[in-house]
Structure 1
């Protein structure tokens, strides 16, 4: 498979994953996502719900942009990478506070999960050519 095709397939796959995760924020996994909101944020139930709903809407939007907004794919990849960095704090909170959610019911599983976020960040940047931003194209 040629590299541009691979990048396109991976970009669309990540976009679909983000749309799916965003839908879960709004539906069946809403309570589990609320448990991951970092403990240093207000713990008011309506605020937790707002964080989960709004992050789900952002995930859906970024996912759709990864799939369909090809003219802005690099900017979308950067925006998704920033979003993934921000939500990493929820994963970190899950680990440091020993929160059982999404089948991560041991410290070891929660720690392993932390290492997947950088992979997603690199995936978002690589599949959208964000690493090549500012480089001159080769003749």
Structure 2
């Protein structure tokens, strides 16, 4: 059962990451640009395009390379940690994007980032009974 749940978690997260990455490059590009903190040293559009490509790459790898799920799950967890300052920046700067139009909504969103980290680690075989050993 744990192996089946881990596979479902991996496939769902991988698919969601590909979808989010495509949105970075297409219809939601301006929304993602609004989330880039003012202090970030790179151009907003370049940041959104780069993160979109990373999301598509990691998501596709999580789905298509089950033999490398541990490595990709770990990389996804690191990615979620790396982009967390942008979410904090959205809260601190009071930036409206993706329907997050209040400080409360932006604050609540911050608590979902650790869930994504744990989801990536679980889907990658880092957590739970029967943890996978391959990298």
Same structural fold, with TM-score higher than 0.5 when normalized by the shorter chain: yes
Which residue does 1:114 correspond to in 2?
A: 110
Structure 2 distance, partners of 1:41, 1:127, is 30
SS state at 1:130 partner: coil
The alpha-carbon deviation at position 90 of structure 1 amounts to: 1.2
Which residue does 2:87 correspond to in 1?
A: 91
Which residue does 1:137 correspond to in 2?
A: none
Which residue does 1:36 correspond to in 2?
A: 35
The answer to whether the 8 Å contact 1:38/1:93 transfers is yes
The answer to whether the 8 Å contact 1:65/1:76 transfers is yes
Runs of 4+, deviation exceeding 3 Å: 131-134
Matches within 5 A, 1:48-67: 48-67=44-63
The alpha-carbon deviation at position 42 of structure 1 amounts to: 3.3
Of 72, 78, 82, the match for 1:76: 72
Please, what TM-score do these two structures have when normalized by structure 1? 0.89
Q: Tell me which moved more, 92-101 or 32-41.
A: 32-41
Unpaired runs of at least 5, structure 2: none
Please, what TM-score do these two structures have when normalized by structure 2? 0.92
Structure 2 distance, partners of 1:124, 1:86, is 14
SS state at 1:19 partner: helix
What is the Cα-based RMSD across aligned positions, in Å? 1.5
The answer to whether the 8 Å contact 1:75/1:130 transfers is no
- Could you list the per-position Cα deviations for residues 61-82 of structure 1 after superposition, in whole angstroms to 9, with x for gaps in the alignment? 0000110111110000000000
